[in-house]
Amino acid sequence: MRQFLAANWKMHLYPIEALHLTTALHKGWERHGWTLPAVLFPPAIYLRELVALLSNSRLQVGAQNGYPGEFGAFTGEVSMAQLAHIGVKWVLIGHSERRQHFGETGPLLRRKLQDAQQRGLSVIYCVGETLAQREAGQTFDVLQVQLEEVLSDGAIAWDRFVLAYEPVWAIGTGVHATPQQAQEVHAFLRAQLARLGAPAEGICVVYGGSLKPSAALELFSQPDVDGGLVGGASLEASSFLQIAQALLQARS
């Protein structure tokens, strides 16, 4: 069954908070006996600690960013090889905040994705349109370009690939896509994945952007919304656990 949940903590939390949140989520998963796959994406300084804390957990650990290669003169970067070496299993690629604030574009994202997978990492690739693009009727064109420039003609390990639809206008705004808007885009994305040669029916396409417990059940009840990539609401154990519960309910 397609179901997948991820927590993007972004640049938040002090060490003690990260520790408490991780422990609470691990306990929550244990208490419910959930087998639901979920990945926590903490700031890089907490990766090693989370890998150790979650070694016997259903929860996995992912990096919010990584640079292609092993070693090199790239001040400030952490390589995909280094991430994989310490037990990180996932990496986020193409998040709109990386595209917007750090100027990351297709060619680099493509290198990141290919290098990450070659080093054994699984990837969440994020796509999404801005408000101006949506209002100009360009949503599908923008998404198609974002998919093609990174995924076409590449040797993608589709069994280690998740696609996230994160409309930029919904991230951190308190306004999430309606279930209809999300379903329309997710169905489009799945069709594009098929066109690019992916086994699209087996790939999780998850939604992100102001995803809160109150909206989760209706969003996850859409046939092509296979889970979520949660920002703000993943910083509280109770709200992330409620979102997990909603996903299990929608897919039961």
Task: Please give the positions annotated as active site.
Answer: 95, 166
| DSSP type of residue 161 | E
Angle, in degrees to the nearest 10, between helices 237-250 and 15-32: 30
Label residues 94-125 b or e (16+ Cβ within 10 Å = b). bbbbbbeeeebeeebbbbbbbbbbebebbbbb
Give the interface segment with ligand 13P, choosing from 23-31, 42-50, 213-221, 228-236 (CB under 6 A): 228-236
Distances (CA, A) of 67 to 75, 94, 108, 113: 11, 12, 9, 10
Distance CA 245, CA 232 (A): 17
Q: Quick one: which segment of 107-115, 152-160, 214-222, 227-235 binds ligand 13P (CB under 6 A)?
A: 227-235
Does 208 engage in binding with ligand 13P (CB under 6 A)? yes
The alpha-helical segments, DSSP class H, found in the chain are 15-32, 47-53, 80-85, 96-102, 106-118, 131-135, 139-151, 179-195, 213-220, 237-250
In DSSP terms, which residues pair with 229 in a beta bridge? 6
Q: Which of 172, 197, 199, 202 binds ligand 13P (CB under 6 A)?
A: 172
Q: Which is nearer to ligand 13P, 4 or 81 (CB)?
A: 4
How far CA 110 is from CA of 7, 89, 158, 194, 204, in Å, comes to 23, 18, 14, 18, 19
> What residues between 57 and 96 interact with ligand 13P by CB under 6 A?
95
Tell me whether residue 53 or residue 126 sits nearer to ligand 13P (CB atom): 126
Q: Which two tokens stand for residue 50?
A: 């989370």
Q: Select 69 or 232, whichever has its Cβ closest to ligand 13P.
A: 232
CB nearer to ligand 13P: give 5 or 250.
Answer: 5
Among 40, 127, 156, 171, binds ligand 13P (CB under 6 A): 171
Taking CB under 6 A as the rule, does residue 182 contact ligand 13P? no
Contact mark string toward ligand 13P, 1..30, x via CB under 6 A: -------x----------------------
Q: Report the nearest approach of ligand 13P to the CB of residue 131 (Å).
A: 14
* CB 216 to ligand 13P: min, Å: 11
> Residue 191: beta bridge partners?
none
Give me the least distance between CB of 162 and ligand 13P, in Å please.
Answer: 12
Please, what is the Cα angle at 218 between 210 and 199, to 5 degrees? 85
Question: Interface with ligand 13P includes 167 (CB under 6 A)?
Answer: no
Decide: is 128 part of the binding site for ligand 13P (CB under 6 A).
Answer: no
C-beta separation of 211 from 8 below 8 A: no
231 binds ligand 13P (CB under 6 A): yes
Contacting positions for ligand 13P (CB under 6 A): 8, 95, 166, 171-172, 208-211, 229-233
